Structure 1
Amino acid sequence: MKNTPSDPVPLLQELIRCRSVTPAEGGALTCIENLLSAHGFRCHRLTFREDGTPDVVNLFARIGTGSPHLCFAGHTDVVPEGPAENWTYAPFAAEIADGFIYGRGACDMKGSVAAFAAAALDYLRGAGGLTGSISFLITGDEEGPAINGTAKVLDWMRANGHIPDHCIVGEPSSVDRLGDTIKIGRRGSMSFLVRVEGRQGHAAYPHKADNPIPKLARLIDRISTAKLDGGNAHFDPSTLAVTSFDVGNPAGNVIPSRAEAKFNIRFSTEHSFASLQTWVDTQISVVRAEVGGAWSVSVSKGADAFITTAGPFVSLVQGAVAAATGIVPRLSTSGGTSDARFVKNFCPVLEFGPTNATIHQVDERIAIDELRATQSVYGRIIADYFSSAL
């Protein structure tokens, strides 16, 4: 690259031009690897696979060998662009217009990757030496199944002595203005599919059939109006959303033999996978005792709820963001899931990045001023981290 490595703009443009729609690497990890290795980082290209899932290429890069060890975790895979003709500028062209860089991944989250890389290189040049370590965990599987990405890289890191002391995940956490929000945790996610078997029959002779629809409808009414909890100091009340009710029946004069429904629970630390499964099983038992039927349920465990408790690391990052932006960020657990759910099993983790107004949208973009300001915030976090005694 002709430009200085501390300028995140050309780096982000280069990353956006890599068509790394999950799980394709698209050259994005090669770009980061070339940049970091040229500045002393030891890079490891890690490819993982599992039956029934695509191969995923990941990157781990580290400079330094000791503690304190600060890791930046992120991803260069992006969601599909959708109809390209709906974009003002080609989604992988990284055009600059009116002070913005346009392109898929500009905010989520190639912008954060570029900003942190630039901030880290600036720090290394200016510090005159590093006491401790800086590392990058960059996956190509965050927007996909998340099976062959961060979780397996972390296992490799543990096996090879690379677990950090603390981690920043570069998710676009800011809502209205850069610096207004830090994610200190996430709700858990758990999905259920409930099926009721009946007996098919003619709608004119319902007594000769066994209609599963009213049975399942009674359960759905019961659980969709239930209060799971009242929330707590860090989490809003848990929620249950019914996402599907299907009988696979195109005929208007036939009682179907089967009905099934899907629902998702987003839950706080008031619950666990086991407690929620027990709760759902109890609701089914109550309804089954009332109306009978042959019931079955299958469960998909998405992510457990977690919180990074208040302490020196949270205070340091919150203070650095406030010093760099003039805003005291709120500490939030809102939103869906992220790869922080894997990192939290190994070290304290926070999420911080630019505003998220256009993520996954047509004309995804980031203001150049915001990109450079994000670099400045990361730079302040790095400097404060290595000058403190966490």
Structure 2
Amino acid sequence: MTEETAIASFRRVSPAILASARMAMANDIPDTSKSEISLLLKKAAPIFGIHGATYHVLDILLGLSRADDWKGTGRPIVAISNATLAEKTGRSVRTVSRCLRGIVEAGFAAYRDSPTGRRFVDRDKGGMIVSGFGLDFTPARVRLEEIRESVENYQRELKASKDARRAVTRLPRAIIDACEGFPEKADIWRRAAQAIIDGVAGQAEQASGLESLYAEVLEYSNQRFQELEMSCAGDIGITPNINTIPKTLSDSNERTRSIERDIISPDDGSAVETAYENKPETAAGHVQYRLRQTEKTAGNIQGAVLAAVPIGLLQVGCRAAQDCVRVEFDAWSDVVGAAEVMRRMIGLSEAAWLDGVGRVGRYAASAILATVLEKSLRDPNLIAKPGGYFRAMVDRAVDGSLHLSKSLYGLAERKMNRWSKR
């Protein structure tokens, strides 16, 4: 079949139309399926300028094609008149004609015109096309790999653009929060962030510069955190070794009143404590018992808070928090390890953080902290004072009225709903 017989003489032929006609006469055609090529062409439509009414016409033509024609030596030819397409799309015949021309010039299909201009398809008993005239989608089969590569590149660029846009929105906010935690660096970080936003035109370049600056912020905060840990390392877990039981009765009688005043706390003058001083082993046991009861109470609260909170739920519900601190919550140790950075991000004082840890346990406090940071990142106007919000959640945990799992399920559900709308 020659190009002159494939394209009617009344058409205005362009180089793109001729290129489609040449591809339609190819013999080496890769196999594909109707569902695969339909999905691929729809994804590629915006790349090749197919939208609106043209996209609607393309969708109808792909739906009318037969699945068997996309395999082997088949030719996926669709025979439908412009008038019928106009009825199906609610457009004029002239608009449909322009849409078909756009599909052909995009290289998705080719004109296969009959001498009379009619469109029809004759098939044998096996369903194979004997002769057909209409829109031939063989060019789409020939360009299968090219179109697939174009779609993959387009999606990568689109994702990179979205990531850059989100980074430009998220990172300045995180840097400003860090400035509140480290006033000595606030002016330097603010000026650097403003210089990146004002001096760089493209969002990708802005995102790259802000990510580098934010990495410096995190490195500085981690360094300060390590220095704090080292400075407090000698104050943790030290128990004085005081033998309060006298060896002999004579040793007990030799004890002076000054020693008694050193043993008895000056702030506690109750008769009960005085009686305990007379039996020092009983007093020590009572103090240890009270400490164990406090730990047990915090452990019970922590167990109740985290009973229905698996690490996977925290990972799905607090995605923005993980992106902000650059830590994946794959294990509870990751959440606890990121607590210091998260604390600074919401402006929570160290005293309030230690108080929360003492009341509900380190793991429960870290999970609450991640939830508060996630909520404040998603909607900064929703929580005016994240630090106070954290303390309120700790109070509710102690009272037994905190349902952390419901909050995390809500955050995860809202995240999934946003993904499904995209």
TM-score, structure 2 as length reference: 0.20
Specify which structure has the higher proportion of helix: 2
Relative contact order higher in (CA < 8 Å, ≥ 6 apart) = 1
Specify which structure has the higher proportion of strand: 1
TM-score, structure 1 as length reference: 0.21
Structure with the greater alpha carbon radius of gyration: 2
